[in-house]
A and B are shown apart, each in its own frame.
Chain A
Amino acid sequence: MNGAHDMGGMHGMGPIDTDPDDPLFHAEWEKRAFAITLALGFHGRWNIDTSRHARENRHPVDYLSSSYYELWLKGIERLAVDTGMISPEELATGKPEGFAATPPPDPDRVAAILAKGASAKLDDDVPARFRTGARVRALDITTSGHTRVPRYCRGRIGIIDRDHGVYVFPDTHAHGLGKKPQHCYSVRFAGRDLWGGAAPGNDAIYVDLWDDYLEAAP
């Protein structure tokens, strides 16, 4: 989707707060929103692509005026309701009308769950469409669904820098349409090919892009 989250190349966002001692959390509720999001995710009712889309798929004014953990809260509320874990009425009133069918993992298992993670890399034997060094064009994809092609590289030509292997494809995975295993590459774009002749001649931007986002370029 062409959403407000796709920020690469936007102007007017102001200076960066570079203070190295700025705390990771600015309020207690931010910690709870962070932990609730991870803990509810332990039930496995959605995947990381679904959850990203739940955060990004909103009015640009809402996205840009919400703080980071506000977006996480709004995202987890939406996921919990959309999957039926809670009802809209329960969310509105805060009063439970029923109990979970399956219990959450034991707190003692949290460390092991985090240490294991959930790799999106797949063992599927899928041929790579492009070799390292090949010239490729990022397709000019416009979709209202979830995608990981940033707007700033669409239609631009780059070079396959490295092949990361076969990965889950987010555009389908976010919408319950399967993993569609395919190669994911680091594609190197020259700064001038993205931002014009005024960009330094020795800036390069590397974007991780899947086979379905690319076509061979002359």
Chain B
Amino acid sequence: MAERVKSLEALLVAKKLVDPDSLNALIDTYEHKVGPRNGAKVVARAWADPAYKERLMRDATAAIAEFGFTGRQGEDMVVVENTPAVHNMVVCTLCSCYPWPVLGLPPVWYKSAPYRSRAVMDPRGVLREFGTVIGDDVEVRVWDSTAELRYLVLPERPPGTEDFGEEQLAELVTRDSMIGVTKAKPPESVP
């Protein structure tokens, strides 16, 4: 496979169809610049600032753009909120749709057959595989990203974080908690 990709890249560069500097810029963007720390900032602000949270729930695309997080695979965003009564999780059963500007590129498991096949059919079983146990009294909502809307889960703010500022709060927000397969980290996990 490595040889096949190398051959295609060499051909496309020779034909002046792609610029190798553009390829490097694309990889650098999604390896180092755009990732789940973006989403964590959004979540932390929503926890800390009720007016921001209101904007985020009403028009997620605009509220996320306040941070400058815009564009490809996040053109039209929806935020779904976890509460004591509702737990949300996101999947794309048909391919790998994922909100790049806030979470970066999806992890391998998100794109894999085991997750895509079972997330809609047995969400509580999938969540248990991630170590997340959801009570029988809690409603589980699975969002299958079959169109061009991209979903971000707003996890529950962990108890015991009343004195935390936005930066500290963001430390508790993991990628997986914004996909909805885990909860945010407890405050004692941060030094």
Contact = CB atoms under 8 A, between A and B. Distances in A.
A28 interface: yes
A175 B23 CA distance: 28
Interface string B34-45: 000000000000
B29 A94 contact: no
B105 A73 contact: no
B112 A17 contact: yes
Interface in B18-54: 18-19, 21-27, 29-31
A94 B70 contact: no
Contacts of A136: none
Contacts, number: 268
A26 interface: yes
Contacts of A120: 75-76, 147-148
Contact of A208 (B72, B73, B106, B144): B144
B159 interface: no
Interface residues on A, range: 35 or more
Interface in A75-134: 76-77, 80, 85-86, 90-91, 94-96, 98-100, 103-107, 110-111, 113-121
A143 to B, nearest CB: 14
Nearest to A12: B117
Contacts of B131: 18
B124 to A, nearest CB: 7
Given A29-B5, A110-B25, A117-B74, A150 B17 contact: no
A46 interface: no
Contact of B107 (A22, A150, A207): A22
Contacts of B75: 117-121
Interface string B88-101: 00010111100000
A118 B22 contact: no
B70 A206 contact: no
Interface string A153-183: 0000000000010011010000000000000
B17 A40 contact: yes
Nearest to B21: A107
Nearest to A19: B109
7 contacts: A7-B116, A22-B108, A107-B25, A117-B72, A148-B146, A152-B120, A206-B141
Interface of A: 5-11, 13-20, 22, 24-29, 31-36, 38-40, 42-43, 48, 52, 55-56, 64, 68, 70, 73, 76-77, 80, 85-86, 90-91, 94-96, 98-100, 103-107, 110-111, 113-121, 148-150, 152, 164, 167-168, 170, 184, 186, 191, 194-195, 200, 202-210
